[in-house]
Structures are given as structure tokens and as C-alpha cells.
Amino acid sequence: SQQGEEDPQALSIQEGENATMNCSYKTSINNLQWYRQNSGRGLVHLILIRSNEREKHSGRLRVTLDTSKKSSSLLITASRAADTASYFCATEDNYGQNFVFGPGTRLSVLP
């Protein structure tokens, strides 16, 4: 059962611009994670934010979580061509035993 849903499905920006992608989910969560997937590769963990946190930073990444709106956003500042990838949010499944991924946002950063 799909919990998270990323928006937009695809995003194309110029190098140096900021990229923002959003994730909405349906039921209450304990934490939410963001992952990156380069073409043809496995997923790489970016950041985990817990339900009692509102904002978290990691380098050029900034994640926010609004549990009242059941949504999260991932901001990548000063994007680089190497940021071109698909980005997924992951939340708990209905049983709280596994995490469930959305369909992802495909980001293209043009040089």
C-alpha cells in the first residue's frame, strides 16, 4: 500500500538553482526518510526526519516535515549536474513494520 506520494513527478532546473520536491502521506508516521537513486543504481539514504522534528539540514539538503498537513519537502540548494537523479520519500507502512516508497520525483539539473 503506497503511503507517500512525491510531487512533482519530474523537475528540470538549471545548475545553481534550488530544487524543491514534496511528499504527501496518508496516515500518521513516526519518521519520514528521503532517498536518492542515480540512474541504474540502488537507493542511497539522504536524511531521516522524526515526527517530533520540523526541519533538518544536511549539507545542501533541507527537509521539512508538517505532520498537521501530512507532508514533507526536500530542498536542494545550489543544485549541481551531479544532483540529477530520482528522489523518493519513504514512510512506515500500515503495520509500522516496513517503510513504503512513493513513485519518486525525477530531477534533471542542466549545466
- Interface with another protein (CB under 8 A), residue total 26
Query: What cell numbers appear for 55 in the block?
Result: 526541519
Q: Which of 56, 77, 100, 108 binds another protein (CB under 8 A)?
A: 100
Over the window 6 to 45, marking each residue x when it contacts another protein by CB under 8 A and - when it does not, the resulting string is ------------------------xx-x-x----xxxxxx
Euclidean distance between CA atoms 108 and 86, whole angstroms? 9
Query: What cell numbers appear for 92 in the block?
Result: 512506515
Euclidean distance between CA atoms 63 and 94, whole angstroms? 23
Q: Binders of another protein among 80-99, rule CB under 8 A?
A: 88, 90, 92-93, 96-99
